[in-house]
Chains A and B, each alone.
Chain A
Amino acid sequence: MSDSRFENVAELIAEARQGDAVCRDKLFGLCRSYLEIVARAQVETWLRAKVDASDIVQETMMEAFRDFEHFGGKSEQEWLGWLRRILAHNVADFVRRYRGTAKRQARREVPIRGARDSTAAFGVAEPAAPCATPSQAYLQIDTELRVTAALATLPDDYQEVIVLRNLERLPFNEVAQRMERTRPAVQMLWMRAIKKLQEAMGEEGERITDEG
């Protein structure tokens, strides 16, 4: 089995389905920081406050692990879409609980087939490249995992400013309020964070080519 990190998510899925525990762990490990960042952005967008999303991630990972045999997709894209849907249910539960509605919605089975719709429903499509060819779509997923892995390596305040500005789509005024800094200061911080992220993504990229 090759050790390259991202090119072979599809392979990892196939191996894991054959019952290879190492590959399965690897597959899940790979997606952890992706789930962490997406979960945090979703919950915080909704609650407009800083929230610890680690429970949601934990729950999502466990459920994905448990229901792995029900996952019928092959590609990375299908895989991330599937994870994202389990995550969305957990986020919705969390938000509902937070709002005092304790009634937990009966969990709907995540459809096994027809994973195609996930792309459209979960906004994976990149606005800048509206008519993505298959190879572009592949690269794009590659970027999604890579950007979250890189983001996870940044210092906390860099992560926070990116999550607030890019993922929660807050204007700089509100970012400044949430971080209790001045607007010019968070703008500077954002510039530096983007720069650092670029570098970190470069490194992740190099690691892939080195290992691959």
Chain B
Amino acid sequence: MKDDPQRLDLLDDYLMQLQAGLRPDRAALLREHPELASSLKCIEALEGLAPPAAEIDSLLADVPEMPRNFGPYELLEEVGRGGMGVVYKARQIDLDRVVAIKMILASHLASPEHIRRFQIEARAAARLRHSNIVHIHEVGQCHGQHYFTMEHIEGESLAERLARQPLAVEEIVRLVSTVARAVEHLHSQGIVHRDLKPSNILLDCENQPYVTDFGLAKVFTPGSEATATGVIAGTPSYMAPEQAAGRNAEVGPAADIYSLGAILYELLTGEPPFRRESPLDTLLDILSREPRLPREINARVPRGLELICMKCLSKSPTDRYASAAALADDLERYVQGEPLAVRPPHLGQRIYQWVRRQPALASRLGALGVFYLVEIGNYHYGTVDWAFHLRITSLAAAWALVSIVCQQFVGYQRLAVPARFVWGMLDSILLLIVLLFVADGAASALIVGYPLLIAGSGLWFHVRFVGVMTVLSLISYGILVVDFYCWRLNLQDHFDTSYARHILFALSLIVLGAIVAGLVQRLRMLSNFYGRPLP
């Protein structure tokens, strides 16, 4: 695995040369890296399959492209494509006005029921009037193609704007509060947007934001009758937990407030609150983790905005702002320098949020704390002497320190995986030291630490990691057994010296490891099943 980055660079470089139409020097590469031979063969075979861009273009070329008539519209140019369909800039001939026309991809309107729902939603959306909402003019069908037309906004989306350069704080506050007011209007008309994200917010030349694509998300997000893959359809990064989990009945205005918070978060920090390697990891994070505090990512984020943002991102809808208007009010209070309605979380909430942000560290510190409290009790009642207490204290402190350092490394994306293995290894070494030099080795009740380590390793959701921890625990316990029979002669008088006890313990560790690995494996399979992107 350790050569992977280099291997990736070599293969990617080779592929890029192929795709650029160059002829990479395969022989030279193979002289240096003969092990790449079959990978190169694969890549070349795949390249042979790739459609030459000219192939389809040439077939389409003999059809005059523009202007093309589509019912009463003249299509001018394509302005965007999405999962739902293609958007064109078009001229409405009879009224001589420029509109945006969105063609719905046929596969999204498979059944008559689907079409009916689409039309109901689109008509409801067409009744809205608000200066920051893209107005829908008409819903219709032409040559069997479903479409709707809307106001054409000359400009770019917030996503494009953000990709160009970060925005100033005042600008961010102005945009988000304006959008929140517009969303409040949607809500007052009984429409929940459900798919608020930077690419659905358009900016005109004067940087006025316009909300678009509202309400339709419901039509295109399969409900109860839909396939299981619909559960994480869309863009989980901006989705409220109740929506990401597919609890569609609970999705209300509060879900939009969460999305507004996620947009604010991205504008402030440059990244959405949760974005992980796989959809399952993203989903699990949305459901059970707290996002990193914006000020940890960008120290220049004002404290007040962080509070507002984190309130929107609360897991429970009731903990968020009561309405989009309340969010807009608080943002305006922030601009005016008035006291905010949002209160900083109290100590209990802060601890709870911290635990959810760093569960691995919190569980270790918690276990160490309990262990140390028992020890203080022992010391207080005189069952152990000062020297012993000192040893315990320094070991507990060392362990806590190791955990904190490891957590730091796990936080870096590049080091996350190796850091976990190192952390697990250090945990089992520290447990071994405690058992060997402080406690009574294999005779100590502290050997329950091993099952705990194995069970805890399941929390990283990696089968291989569970396996490694099980093996480490077995080795470590083996050392304890040797230690018990060779050097703890004084204890052998008081304890059962049969080997059966150790074999039983070792076997139960193996069984536990297998159970945890099995559970993780099942979860992974579910992840693959649910995590598939929608067709």
Binding site for B on A (CB under 8 A): 37-38, 41-42, 45-52, 88-89, 91-92, 95-103, 105, 121-128, 130, 140, 143-144, 146-148, 155-157, 160, 162, 165-169, 172, 179-182, 184-185, 187-188, 190-191, 194-195, 197-198, 201-202
10 contacts between A and B (CB under 8 A): A37-B49, A89-B59, A98-B105, A123-B51, A126-B44, A130-B23, A143-B48, A144-B45, A167-B50, A191-B11
List which B263-308 residues lie within 8 A (CB) of chain A: 275-279, 282
B residues in contact with A96, CB < 8 Å: 60, 63
A residues in contact with B86, CB < 8 Å: 47, 98-100
Instruction: Say whether B171 faces chain A, with CB atoms less than 8 Å apart.
Output: no
Instruction: Say whether B111 faces chain A, with CB atoms less than 8 Å apart.
Output: no
The 8 lowest CB-CB distance pairs between A and B, nearest first, are A185-B277, A102-B143, A92-B59, A166-B46, A123-B52, A147-B45, A42-B51, A143-B45
Instruction: Say whether B498 faces chain A, with CB atoms less than 8 Å apart.
Output: no
Partner of B18, one of A128, A182, A187, A202: A128
**Would you call B51 and A127 a contact (CB within 8 A)?**
no
Distance between Cα atoms of A78 and B78 in the complex (Å): 37
Distance between Cα atoms of A191 and B446 in the complex (Å): 43
A residues in contact with B4, CB < 8 Å: 188, 191
**Would you call B50 and A166 a contact (CB within 8 A)?**
yes
A residues in contact with B282, CB < 8 Å: 180
How many of chain B's residues touch chain A, expressed as a range? 35 or more
Closest to A126 in B: B48
Pick the interface stretch among B187-195, B451-459, B466-474, B527-535.
Answer: B527-535
B residues in contact with A101, CB < 8 Å: 63, 68
B residues in contact with A169, CB < 8 Å: 19, 50
Distance between Cα atoms of A183 and B323 in the complex (Å): 36
**Would you call B528 and A127 a contact (CB within 8 A)?**
no
B residues in contact with A182, CB < 8 Å: 275-277, 413
**Would you call B43 and A41 a contact (CB within 8 A)?**
no
**Would you call A160 and B533 a contact (CB within 8 A)?**
yes
Instruction: Say whether B204 faces chain A, with CB atoms less than 8 Å apart.
Output: no
Known: A105-B63, A167-B49, A194-B39. A127 touches B8 (CB 8 A): no
Instruction: Say whether B81 faces chain A, with CB atoms less than 8 Å apart.
Output: yes
B residues in contact with A45, CB < 8 Å: 51, 53, 56
Closest to B143 in A: A102
List which B369-390 residues lie within 8 A (CB) of chain A: none
Known: A124-B48, A157-B528, A194-B43. A52 touches B26 (CB 8 A): no
Closest to B61 in A: A92
**Would you call A52 and B535 a contact (CB within 8 A)?**
yes
Q: How far is the CB of B12 from chain A (nearest CB, A)?
A: 8
Distance between Cα atoms of A92 and B58 in the complex (Å): 9
Known: A100-B75, A194-B42. A148 touches B49 (CB 8 A): yes
List which B62-78 residues lie within 8 A (CB) of chain A: 62-63, 68, 70, 75, 78
Distance between Cα atoms of A125 and B428 in the complex (Å): 57
**Would you call A88 and B48 a contact (CB within 8 A)?**
no
**Would you call B55 and A123 a contact (CB within 8 A)?**
yes
